[in-house]
Structure formats: structure tokens, C-alpha cells
A and B are shown apart, each in its own frame.
Chain A
Amino acid sequence: MTAVAHAEEIATPRATPASSLRGNRAFVIGTVIVGAWLATALAAPLIAPQSPVDVDVMNRLQAPSPGHLFGTDEAGRDNFSRIVYGARITIPAALGVILIATLVGSAVGAVAGYAGGRVDEILMRVVDVVLAFPSILLAMAITAALGLGLKHAMLAMILVWWPEFARLMRGQVLVTNTNDYVTSARALGAQTWRIVGLHVIPNAFPPILVKATLDIGNAIILTAALSFIGLGAVPPEPEWGAMIAAGRAKFEYWWAATFPGLAILSVVLGFNFLGDGLQDWLNPRLRHD
């Protein structure tokens, strides 16, 4: 086994990033799963056989059958269609949260790292404070305070998440700043924005991309968890966490809670594979191939 793997390692050319990614199994699996889910979200009306919200009280909690692939829920709605449409809620919500958290956090981190001194001190103390809270508890408290609903849950998640990116970005800025080429560029009189554009951002981008990708998975779980508790999206919205909560009380009808859970598991797994693959690519010593 080891010998074969070793041979492969030698045989695979590593010259270009693209080719190395193609040979990266985790990255490929992740791309396929995430791609499939994104396609599902985009083409939901084409894929779903029925409306995700149409009520049919005479056909409640029907077991999976050819007519209802994943059965029906407690209002007689088609579970399969709801899961397909659910991809349009949870995935974009998580993507949005992470995108905004990344932008805000990176900006704050870059400012802190560059400005240094008192600005850095104050910003990092704020980051410390927010990071001291377990994310789900702070998100719960904020959502409870703002009021029920997915939008408030998303806002809460952004408020909880940006400091992680701020800390990462600041670290990258500090590391890059001490690099010889940056020091020499500065000595040669290069402007700050030039250094940031040419050196800091390209250097900081890969670790931030990896963290963001892995965090999308976490954000999907947290979105679903907040809805599960009853603080996020609520039925009839076909949000996966809310569907699990509704199905939980009637678990004898196992399909109601099982399928949305599998949906979460698979999409998060996809993003985790993707992030993991990216990490391997960036840190070859720990590579799995």
C-alpha cells in the first residue's frame, strides 16, 4: 500500500496548482458534492416534483413511496420537495454569513495589523471579548433579543463570526510585514496600498479561503441548530433544522426528521472535503493523496 502511494507521489507532477488539485481526492469529492447541492438549489423548481408548502391534511405523515420519495410531513407536504427547496434557504444563508464575516473580519484584521499601536490594541480587545463566548450561546442570546427569524439568526451569526477572520487576517498581515521582500519594498518607497495589494492580500488569501470554506459547513450546522431550537427559520419555511425539530416530536414517522438531517450531513461534508482538500494543497507536507 505504502509503496504504491509513494510511487504515485513521484509520478504525479506538481508543477501547476491546477493539476495538483485535480489529483486531490478530497477536493474532487468536495467539489462534486457541493456542486450537486448548488445545482439543486438553483434548479429547485425543476427538480422538486411538488410545491414545498402545499398542504394536504388527508395525506399527512405518509411513508416514503414512489409518489413521495421521502414521504410527507405533518401537514401532508412532500418531504423531498421541501428538502430540495430547503437548499435555497440554508446554503445561501451560510454562504452569506461567511462572506460578510470574512469581508468584515479581514478588513478589521488588516486595519489592526497595519495600524498597530492603540488601534490594534482596541480592535483586538473587542475580538477577544467576542471570541470568549461560545458561538452558539452568543448567537442564541442575540437571536432571542432581536426576535425570532432567519434574518436575525444570520445577523447574530455574523456578529459572532467576524472576529475569527479578524484574528487570522491580522496574523497574516504581521507575518507578511516582516517578510524580507516586503521590508525591502517598503525601503524602496512602495506605497502602503501597493504593498497590501501585491503582497499582503495574495499571502493572506489562501488560509482565509480554507477557513472560509470549512466555516461554511459550520455555518450551515449553526443555522440549522438555531432553527432546531426555535430561534431561526420556522415552518412552513422548508428549513432543514426546523424540519428536524418538527419531525423530532413524531419520530415514529422517522422520515420526517431523518432526511433533512442527511441533507445537512451531506452538504456540510461536501464543504469540509473541499476545505480539507484546499488545505492539503496549501500545506503539502500533511497531504493525503
Chain B
Amino acid sequence: MRDTRYVTRRVAAGALALAALLAVVGPAQAQSRQETLILASSIADYITNDPSRTFEFTSQIIDRAAYDTLVTVEPPDISVVKPRLATSWEISKDGKTYTFKLRPGVKFSSGNPLTAQDVRFSMRRLKHLKDQPSFFMDPVKDVEVVNDTTVRIILTDPDASFLAALSCVPCGIIDSKTVIAHGGTDAEDGKEKDKATEWLNQNSAGSGPYKLVSFVRDVEAVLERNPSHWGPKPYFAKIIFKHVANATTQKEMVERGDADVARDIDADTAATIKDGPKIKLVSGLSLNLVYLGLNNSAEVGKELADKRVRQAIAYAIDYEGLMKGLMRGAAEQPPANIPLGILGVDKSMARKRDVAKAKQLLTEAGHPNGFAVKLNYWTRPLQGVSNEPLAAKVQADLAAVGIKATLEPKEFSVVVPEYRAGKVQMIIAEWTPDYLDPHPWADAFYKKGGPATKRVFYDNPKMNDLIANGVRETDPKKRAEIYREIVKLANEDVPWVPMIQAKVSYALNPGLKGFVYHPVWFVTLGNLSR
């Protein structure tokens, strides 16, 4: 009996202590929730948070908040390049020398001052790591430090897209002292010698409004306010990216107050959200492309090597069904593999479905009864588009003109190497923007040997010339005309069938202020408040 009473007393004492603890801790935590921004989103695309290596969506959002760039591009007008770390700049007459005046008094989160030396280090490290985004530095011949607040970038050839490219996340300025202390280097053998990535995956070394304090893959990323930030103090003390894979749960978390932003709301889930006191929907046209890749080679593409067959396929697709049915109207049809909203790209140039024309083209090409083709796609979702229903729809549309497509669903890691090696006949794939200039798209999809072009063996000398002219031309009007020509020729040659440019949707806590969708880095986190 004595034992029991003793235990009871112990339990009671423990419970009391716990209750007291709850009472003390409760209000403080409520305060912290107020100043904590929680984003429910899939962060499964993570590879690295090192800004000079990253190319993935989530890490770009994180790094954008932690690192400042020389210049920036902000909605609504994403074609205007604005100052950020650079307060002003001059471009030489020959278009090869860029001189930037740096904002004085800027400090990194470590407290180190930001100087022209850090700009030089960042650019050289980006180039010499020879990782995914290193191509941003391809046009750069040299970076010179003029004085602490002046830096000069010298290009090999004039490049009309270079200034816009400097707004990219990988062009963020990193704290050279801190990065060197963690094994980083900007030397030419940086690819082998640089060891700072491991540290940069968990921390950040920038001058942005936030700093990365922890990252656990597939669980969460945590940012905290950077006390040394030069700009206005951001409202939220802490930002947490919670990994939540599916749209419904994300939406439910916003409605229950467990999250402030749901990032991966597809059109179907968006349709179930009504703006109210608990939740609000924000949408914007993305620059993400979902397209059909057609192999132009006789060996792999077979029937698709004939331009008329490719045109027939483009005419066979029921674009209206895709936009209105599959996407519930939350999408546009891009006219080429360069999205709407980019210089020289015009909605009116998009193709319309024409089954009769498709059949006629097939007959001309010698396939009056159609032919068989393999349609590849990967089994993880595309940006905002469920790929399996899309593949089934394309299959049905092709069947309507006599083309028998066999569906080939494959694991992402299986089909992508095949695609990169130019071994797939037909594939549904996607592309997200690098920076806001038509050149990266033209270069990737239409120039001979371009990163995507070489996968389908497309080569038209006339197109190559147009693209070379496009990047050299500095007069915006003349440039736009060149890209219009490119789109026209792309529609004639059809190495790709552009299908969907999705309108992306986000569900927000209605009390959140300052949310403006950004097509490259989703939202500028420092602008948000309650």
C-alpha cells in the first residue's frame, strides 16, 4: 500500500510540474508562432543549398532569401533589371565591359563587410566549380576589383542577356572569408579542391535578409532573420519550410493554421479552395513548360524524322482539352518552347488543333494508316501537372489521327538518362526557367548541340544563325523581332510540341501580407509580413 501511495504522489507531483511548465512556456511559444512563417511544400527536389551549385526550385527560394545578387528582377514587370547590391552600373560601348558600383556598408551575416573582392570570389567560384549553374559565367572573361566598392566584369563577347542573368540565384554574392574558412576556393581547380559545399548545405554565408540555420532533407529547412542585413528588417523572425508532399494536406494545414503558405496546389485542389477567413488562393502564370519531345533522328525517331509527321503530331493534340479539361483553365498554351511573358513570344502564334490537317500530313508523309510510337514519361509529377493523365490524353489524341502510342511510364532516374542520351522516341518532359531572357530557352531547345536540342538531334543552320544574332543584338525591338522569327521557325520544324504553361496556385493564410508570385524564385520572402 505504501508503495502505491508513493507512486501516486510522484505522478501527481510530475503532472503538476508539467502543467506549470506548460503555463510558463505557452505564451512565449504563441508569440513565436506569430513571428514564424511556415511554408508547407515539397522540398524533395533538394540536392544542395550551395548557391554556386544549386539549380533546384526549393534551394533557389532559400538561397534567394540568404544571398543578395548585384541586380534583381521583381514582378510585376519582370523585364526590367533593378539595382540590388549594385547601386548603379555602366556598360561599355562594345558591350563587353560592365562596371558596377556597390552599395556601401553592406555586411554579411557573419559581420564581415561585403566588398568588390567578395564579388570577384563569388563569380570565380561559380565558374571554377564547373557544377550545374557554372554556365552562367561562360560569357565572363575576367572579374577585376577596381576598389572596395567598384567591380568590373569583362566579357569575351557582347551578350544581351548577361545583365538579366546576374539576377540569378547562383550569381548571389557569398562571404569569401567565411567560405574560405570552411574549405572554399575560387581557384581554377575549385572543382576538385572546394570543400565548402557541405557547410553551405546547412548554413548560409550571404548578406540577404535571412540566414539558413538548419536543413534536414525531406523534413524541414529553417531560416532565421539575418541581424546584419543592410535593408529593412523583415517581419518574420523565422521561416520554416515543412516538407509535405501532397496538395490536399498542404491545403488542410493552411486551413487549420499549421502553415501560412501551401506551395504545391495543383489546379484540381485549387478548384476546391474558396477564399474565406481561413484560406486564400493566389495564382500566377508560371514560366514552366510541359512539352512533348520528338526525336528528329531517323535511327531513334524513325517516322518522326519526317518534319510532316512532327507537324501532324502537333496538329493532333487537343490543346483546348488540355487547357480547359486537364488544367481546369489554369494554363496557357505556349507557342514554342519559349514561354509566354518572354521577349518576342506572342500568344497568337500558338497552334490550333486540326485533325484533318494532321491526317493529310500523315498521308503526304506516307503513313495514311498511322504508325506505332513509344511515348515515354516519368512517374513523378511535373510542376503543377499530373503527368499520367496527360500521357493518357496525348495517347488518345494521337489515336484519333491513327498514331498508336504505347505508354512507357518509367522511373525518373531511368528515363532521364535515356532522354539525355538521345535514346527516346517521344517523351513528355518539363523545363523551369533559369532567368528571364529568351536566350536560355532558345539556346537550350533550338540551337544545334544545345542541352535539350542534342537529345532530339534537331539541327537547322538557319535557326542557329537566328539564335546567334538574338544574343548579340542589344536593341530590344530588333531582338524581339529575331525571337519572333525563331518561334515561327520552331513551329515549322516542330522538334518539340509545346503543350502547357501552367498557372500556378498557392494557398495562403489570409492574414499574410506582401505575397507576390515570382516566376523564378516563387516569392521574395523578405517582403512578407502579417
Contacts and interface: CB of A to CB of B under 8 A. Distances in A.
Interface stretch (A54-62, A119-127, A172-180, A218-226): A54-62
Given A60-B389, A249-B248, A74 B409 contact: no
B388 A236 contact: yes
Contacts of B251: 252
Contacts of A252: 248, 251, 268-269, 272
Interface in B215-253: 245-249, 251
Interface stretch (B13-21, B318-326, B433-441, B478-486): B318-326
A230 B245 CA distance: 14
Given A248-B246, A251-B248, A252-B248, A57 B407 contact: no
A147 B247 CA distance: 27
Given A236-B407, A251-B248, A55 B272 contact: no
Contact of B325 (A53, A76, A253): A76
Contacts of B414: 147-148
A58 B411 contact: no
A250 B324 CA distance: 18
Given A235-B388, A249-B248, A75 B268 contact: no
Contacts of A58: 321, 324-325
A54 B324 CA distance: 18
A249 B389 contact: no
Which of A60, A75, A147, A246 has the most CB atoms of chain B within a 10 A radius of its CB? A75
Contacts of A61: 268
A57 B322 CA distance: 8
A195 B393 CA distance: 61
B248 A60 contact: no
B410 A75 contact: no
Interface of A is mostly: loop
Interface string A43-85: 0000000000111011011000000000000111100000000
Given A74-B386, A147-B414, A250 B247 contact: yes
Contacts of B325: 57-58, 60, 76
Given A148-B379, A148-B414, A252-B272, A57 B246 contact: no
27 contacts: A55-B393, A57-B325, A57-B326, A57-B389, A58-B324, A58-B325, A60-B268, A74-B389, A75-B389, A75-B392, A77-B392, A148-B379, A148-B410, A230-B379, A234-B388, A235-B388, A246-B386, A246-B388, A249-B245, A249-B248, A249-B381, A250-B248, A250-B266, A250-B268, A251-B248, A252-B248, A252-B268
A112 B386 CA distance: 51
Contacts of A246: 386, 388
Interface string B362-393: 00000000000000000111000010110011
Interface of B: 245-249, 251, 266, 268-269, 272, 318, 321-322, 324-326, 379-381, 386, 388-389, 392-393, 395-396, 407, 409-411, 414
Contacts of A236: 388, 392, 407
B268 A234 contact: no
B407 A75 contact: no
A58 B389 CA distance: 12
Closest 7 A/B residue pairs (Cβ): A57-B325, A75-B389, A251-B248, A249-B246, A252-B272, A58-B325, A55-B392
A75 B248 contact: no
A256 to B, nearest CB: 10
A61 B248 CA distance: 14
Nearest to B328: A60
- A55, A58, A251 — most chain B CB neighbours (10 Å): A55
B379 A234 contact: yes
A248 B249 CA distance: 9
